[in-house]
Structure 1
Amino acid sequence: MIRPQLADAFTPRAGVLDLWEIDLARPISESDRDLLTVEETAKADRIIIESKQRQSYRARAELRRILACYLDADPGALCFAYGEQGKPALLPDPERGPAPLCFNLSHSGTVGLVGVIFGAADEQLGVDVEETRPSREFASIAESFFAPDEVEVFRRLPVAEHPAAFYRAWTRKEAYLKAIGTGLSFASSAFSISFGRGEPARLLRTTRAGDHPSRWRMIDVPCPAGYAAAACWSGPELELRHFFAPCSAPAPTSRATYSSAT
């Protein structure tokens, strides 16, 4: 198991999947507010539930700090574009061009998770973290959202194993959906993943046009008690590193903006 470490000596490295754990229980700071755009602030301020609003502010601010560590950039100057299903991507810097990385963000409860692959801008990456709730009707939810072969596997499990198995499956499936950027426009029943106890995480089957399970790698991500998490990416196997946010790399000597190209 890879346990998170402090990022005091953080240095970006290619060929590595970096996983950043964010503490969303911390109060929103003025620094957090200052980093967000007017649009991000307005979106967060529309959230009525205080804990959800804090999640939005803290997750977005820490995402900016983390990405800035890789890009030698001002975190407040980073500009994002969003796919049809809301998947974020960095806009190119006018002078340096596209950012040399792919990333993804997830948050639930008081835990945020950011995945970054440096030097792999063309790869696809998805991460998912979920706060677990042991009292849910897991069998009913599985029948509604899992693929038929996954439902059969789930039914054969002892009831005592349902909570852990459900969240293994759910986070792995969400990580794949987030990696391909389709959200639920690609049905969660249209592909299958492994989730048996002790079974390595992997994509088993997908009906997505032009896709194949051999393209994908998948792992469970260690996280605090009461949470489950997974990551999924296209491309080769990668070394893993796990950090606590915020990133505390040395201050950049030059400042890229990664805003719209002119």
Structure 2
Amino acid sequence: MDLDAIHVAPLADDEIHLWQTAWSGGAGEDVFARLLGAYTGVTESPIIVRGEHGKPTFPPPLDTLGFNWSHSGDVALLAVGKGPSGFAIGVDVEVVRPRPRALELARRFFAPDEAAELNTLPEAAHLGGFLALWTAKEAVLKAHGGGLSYGLHRVSFRLARGGAVPWEFEGDVGPASEWQVRPVALGDERVAALAWRGGERRVRVFTSSV
């Protein structure tokens, strides 16, 4: 693997780097591996291990570099940040497409207060609200490592202008006050969210054409 082909900006301790790349099946993960290799500085593709529910991480001593990725349609996102050992970060992106069962899915899988809040929105806002909640939940649960099996209803949010605000997190993913969740602007065709456990950080967005 030629790591010299990719150059990344220095990653400060108070930053999150978010990369947007094209997605074309397994080739998308090849780009992720090359970017992560550039951040670690290793000369070969860094070893990635998977948790019980599939969360990708680096083994020590590289586990102070947290990362996560997501893809939908033809776009993929890779989030990278530095922190203490096991630093938790997650990202999710969803293509905007008709979801006629959005309210039904919310009533079935979301917290009751979230489903009720969605139901109060104008019909034209149902899809946007649903996706804002869904991507925020996915980002947190991917960072935590429990994935969807942890329970979407166990991380609840309130909708606010531009995204979803952490409200009440149950179990070892909590408390909600320990988390930062940010919407990611990707135009009208996609909704995305970025989440990490810890204090405020500056998010820097990059685009890879590799």
Q: Please state if 1:62 is matched with 2:61.
A: no
Q: Judging changes above 3 Å, is the alpha-carbon distance between structure 1 residues 201 and 210 closer, same or farther for their aligned structure 2 residues?
A: closer
Alpha-carbon contact 1:102-1:122 (below 8 Å) kept: yes
After TM superposition, give the deviation of residue 134 of structure 1 in Å.
2.4
Alpha-carbon contact 1:16-1:117 (below 8 Å) kept: yes
Q: Please state if 1:79 is matched with 2:78.
A: no
Alpha-carbon contact 2:11-2:81 (below 8 Å) kept: no
Q: Which amino acid aligns with 1:219?
A: R
Q: Hey, what's the Cα distance between the residues in 2 that align with 1:69 and 1:9?
A: 7
Q: Hey, what's the Cα distance between the residues in 2 that align with 1:107 and 1:121?
A: 26
Q: What is the aligned residue count?
A: 205
Q: What TM-score does the superposition give when structure 2 sets the normalisation length?
A: 0.89
Equivalence for 1:221: 184
Q: Which amino acid aligns with 1:62?
A: V
Provide runs of 4+ in structure 1 moved above 3 Å.
119-122
Uncovered stretches (5+) of structure 1, i.e. residues with no partner: 1-6, 25-53, 248-262
Alpha-carbon contact 2:37-2:45 (below 8 Å) kept: no
Alpha-carbon contact 1:106-1:128 (below 8 Å) kept: yes
Q: Hey, what's the Cα distance between the residues in 1 that align with 2:120 and 2:195?
A: 26
After TM superposition, give the deviation of residue 194 of structure 1 in Å.
2.0
Equivalence for 1:11: 10
> Higher Cα Rg: structure 1 or 2?
1
Q: Which amino acid aligns with 2:143?
A: A
After TM superposition, give the deviation of residue 63 of structure 1 in Å.
0.9
After TM superposition, give the deviation of residue 229 of structure 1 in Å.
0.3
Identity %: 32
Uncovered stretches (5+) of structure 2, i.e. residues with no partner: 1-5
Alpha-carbon contact 1:201-1:218 (below 8 Å) kept: yes
Higher strand share: 2
Q: Hey, what's the Cα distance between the residues in 2 that align with 1:236 and 1:111?
A: 28
After TM superposition, give the deviation of residue 202 of structure 1 in Å.
2.2
Q: Judging changes above 3 Å, is the alpha-carbon distance between structure 1 residues 135 and 9 closer, same or farther for their aligned structure 2 residues?
A: closer
Equivalence for 2:164: 201
Q: What TM-score does the superposition give when structure 1 sets the normalisation length?
A: 0.72
